[in-house]
Each structure stands twice: as C-alpha cells, then as structure tokens.
Amino acid sequence: MENAESIASIDVICRPPKATGRGLKKLRQVPILSAAKNLSLPVHEVDTFTEWTPPATHGRYINLVVAVSFGLLIPPRIINGAKYGGVNVHPSLLPAFRGAAPLHHTLLSGTEVTGVSLQTLHPTKFDHGVILAQTAPLRHGAQTVKELEKILSPEAAKLLLQGIRDRVFVNPPKEINDRNAPGEEKAILRAPKLSTVDRHIDWQSWTAERIVRTHRVIGPLWNYFSRADETSSKQTRMIWPSGFRESPECPEYIKALVPNAGHPIIVGLQSPTQDIYIKTCDGHMLQSDYAKVEGDITRSFVHAARRTRMIGPPTDLDESSQEFKLFDCSLS
C-alpha cells in the first residue's frame, strides 16, 4: 500500500465462530479470521463490547475503527475513543438499502444498479453516518447474492483504500447525507434482516417472476396445505428445496380450468410421467421438481403429494377428463 508508513499497526476484531448445520455441531469461522492469521495480524474475537477495550500497540491507541459487515453496533465509547472515529463500508448506494441485508434486498427488489458507500460510524444506529465517498452507480447483472458479493467486494476494497489514502475521515462533514435518490421509493430503501417469514409464498400477491427470484436469492420457500382427507383446520408445511420454474408449455385450456392462484393441478394421469403445475396470481403456471413435507424427506413433488394425501378422491372434473386433475387443496 502507498504511504504504508502512515499506518503503525492493524488489529482485527471479528465475531467468534458460530455453530451451524444439523444439530449445530459444525463451527463456521468468519472469513476474515484466516486472512488475518495469514498476515500475522493480532486478532480479537468479540461477541459483545461489554467490558472490552481496544488494545494499545507499542503504547499507541487505535485511532481509526473500520467496520465491514461486522454485525454488532460499535458503542460510542469506542468510536469517540479513536482520534478519527470510525468508518463503515456498506454494499449499497446509501441511503438506499440501509440495513443488515443490502445484497439480498437489492436483488429481491429487482434493482439493476447498485454500488458501495463509505460512511462514518453512527454512535447509536446502523448505516446512519455521514457519507464520505461512494462508487459510481454500477449495473451489476447479478442473479444471486454470491454473484453480487463477488462483483462488489473488489469495489469496496478499492473505495476503502482510496478513502484511507485521501484521509476522508480526518475532517468529515457534520451533516447527515440522508436524501432519497431521485426516483427512488422509500419502500425499497430498507434492507432489514431476513427471516423465515420472508420465504413464505403469498400466492394471492406474488407474481411468478417474484417467486422464482425470491427462491434464487434467499433459498427454499414454503407454504401450508391442508391434507385432502382431513376435515380439521390443521395445516402442514410444504418446503420447496428445488424452487420453481415457469412452464410456458402448459396448455391454455388447463390454465383456464385452474380456479385460483396457489391451486395445483396434475397433468398426465394416464401417462407414466406426470406433471404438476401451480397457478400464480398473474396467470402463469409454475413447476417444481422436489418438495419436502415437514417431518419427511425430500421427494419428487408428485410422490410427496400422493404420499401426504394432498391429492384426494376423484372430483367432478375427473369424470369429464382422464388427462388432468385438480388437487383437493390450495396452498396458503
């Protein structure tokens, strides 16, 4: 790095390893840990700042805090204790997509242009500091979070490096740059942490494109269904591990017979290969290869539907056609 003499030392603070996987038996280290060890940098694993104080190296105290996807709010005593405060690297063009999951929400919204921001650390809120520098708007073309991360990571590194070289943190402006970009809606400016609820398909409002995109970005989606031979209101969760694909080859007359969005139809009753389609609110037909009923293993969608009695006794529709059949349930 140019002007490396201006940096006396670098300490790395990271979160401790987290238990993941089935039974939480596997520990996952944060990526920066191995990089720091390879560079022989001092590492501090911190999951809370309570009673923790930044180290002094060679009698010098840390004078700049740099946060990159850290996940913990850095308290005012640490920010104020550093001569130049702190800076944060955020993978969006702030104030758009402020929050814990900017990459996910960028893709979920269908936004084709993004970038990286360098801002001061706010003492009480995430991503509310003063914007010091930003990359030019970047048309990314990414389809998944990993693809977008791969595109933005080198841009973020260059922005941070240039910011340190330019010492943009020495005399940062006092006002908060919090204006909406022209044409942006406030509804898409937030990027909160995602939960299981975000994977629950709403067949009454989610278009086919949104369903396919959401699975691509955040993984397996799910629904509830009622078993065809039960009269109780008990519902079972159906998980879609393989996602969905649009099926333009589905005959138009079959589309017309499906009454509502989220109502599956099986085609090819007399054929060794049977297909299941699900209608969306915008009139498209989706297919899925695999399904997993909660408490069971992953199976083909047809096999799972029959095994779990999603498909009930013959309906009036079957009497007039041996080609297709509506399920006796709707996904909700």
Which string of DSSP letters, residue by residue, matches 148-171?
A: HHHHHHHHHHHHHHHHHHHTTTSS
Are residues 141 and 60 both part of a single domain? Answer: yes
Q: Put residue 218 in one of left, alpha, beta given phi > 0 → left and psi -120 to 50 → alpha.
A: alpha
Are residues 39 and 153 both part of a single domain? Answer: yes
Mark which of 188, 213, 236 sits at the end of a domain.
188
Are residues 151 and 235 both part of a single domain? Answer: no
Report the pLDDT value the prediction gives residue 258, as an integer from 0 to 100. Answer: 79
Q: What is the pLDDT of residues 20-45, one digit of tens each?
A: 777 777 888 888 999 999 999 999 99
Are residues 16 and 125 both part of a single domain? Answer: yes
Are residues 39 and 165 both part of a single domain? Answer: yes
In 39-185 the beta strands, taken as DSSP E runs, fall at 43-45, 56-57, 60-61, 65-68, 86-90, 113-114, 117-120, 131-134, 138-139
Mean pLDDT check: name the lowest of 150-154, 191-195, 235-239: 235-239
- Verify cis geometry, omega within 30 degrees of 0, for the bond prior to 95: yes
Mark which of 188, 211, 237 sits at the end of a domain.
188
- Across 203-231, average pLDDT: 87
Are residues 169 and 201 both part of a single domain? Answer: no
Report the pLDDT value the prediction gives residue 26, as an integer from 0 to 100. Answer: 82
State which residues form the domain around 245. Answer: 196-326
Helix, strand, or coil here: 81?
Answer: helix
Report the pLDDT value the prediction gives residue 175, as an integer from 0 to 100. Answer: 63
Mean pLDDT check: name the lowest of 26-40, 119-133, 174-188, 270-284: 174-188
Distance between CA atoms of 265 and 328, rounded to whole angstroms? 9
How many Å is the Cα radius of gyration of the chain?
26
- 260 burial level (CB within 10 Å; 0-12, 13-18, 19+): exposed
Percent helix, percent strand, percent coil in the chain, to nearest 5:
25, 20, 50
Instruction: Answer yes or no: is 331 within a domain.
Output: no
- Which pair of tokens denotes residue 223? 């629904």
Helices (H) and strands (E) in the chain, counts: 8, 21
Q: Are 84 and 7 in contact, with CB atoms under 8 Å apart?
A: no
Mean pLDDT of the chain: 84
The CATH number of residue 66's host domain is 3.40.50.170
Task: Specify the number of domains making up the chain.
Answer: 2
User: Which residue do the tokens 């970005």 mark?
Assistant: 217
Q: Does the pLDDT value for residue 235 go beyond 90?
A: no
Are residues 52 and 153 both part of a single domain? Answer: yes
Instruction: Answer yes or no: is 296 within a domain.
Output: yes
- 116 burial level (CB within 10 Å; 0-12, 13-18, 19+): buried
Q: Are 132 and 118 in contact, with CB atoms under 8 Å apart?
A: yes
Instruction: Answer yes or no: is 176 within a domain.
Output: yes
- Which pair of tokens denotes residue 123? 């003492």
Cα 19 to Cα 22, 193, 218, distances in angstroms: 9, 19, 20
Report the pLDDT value the prediction gives residue 144, as an integer from 0 to 100. Answer: 96
Q: What is the pLDDT of residues 74-108, one digit of tens each?
A: 999 999 999 999 999 999 999 999 999 999 999 99
Instruction: Answer yes or no: is 83 within a domain.
Output: yes
Q: DSSP letter for 303, please.
A: H
Q: What is the pLDDT of residues 244-261, one digit of tens each?
A: 998 877 778 778 877 788
Are residues 125 and 61 both part of a single domain? Answer: yes
Are residues 110 and 216 both part of a single domain? Answer: no
Q: Are 193 and 99 in contact, with CB atoms under 8 Å apart?
A: yes
More confident residue, 273 or 301: 301
Instruction: Answer yes or no: is 279 within a domain.
Output: yes
Mark which of 127, 162, 188 sits at the end of a domain.
188
The CATH number of residue 264's host domain is 3.10.25.10
Distance between CA atoms of 101 and 122, rounded to whole angstroms? 18
Q: What is the pLDDT of residues 293-329, one digit of tens each?
A: 888 899 988 788 777 666 544 444 444 444 555 555 6
- Which pair of tokens denotes residue 153? 């990571």
More confident residue, 229 or 297: 297
Instruction: Answer yes or no: is 207 within a domain.
Output: yes
- Across 144-152, average pLDDT: 97
Helix, strand, or coil here: 253?
Answer: helix
Confidence bin at 292 (pLDDT 50/70/90): very high
Q: What is the pLDDT of residues 48-72, one digit of tens each?
A: 999 888 888 777 788 999 999 998 9
Q: What is the pLDDT of residues 151-181, one digit of tens each?
A: 999 999 999 999 999 999 998 877 665 554 4
- Across 101-128, average pLDDT: 95
- Across 174-194, average pLDDT: 62
Distance between CA atoms of 119 and 122, rounded to whole angstroms? 9
Q: Are 31 and 18 in contact, with CB atoms under 8 Å apart?
A: no
Helices (H), 167-199: none
Report the pLDDT value the prediction gives residue 27, as an integer from 0 to 100. Answer: 83
pTM: 0.85
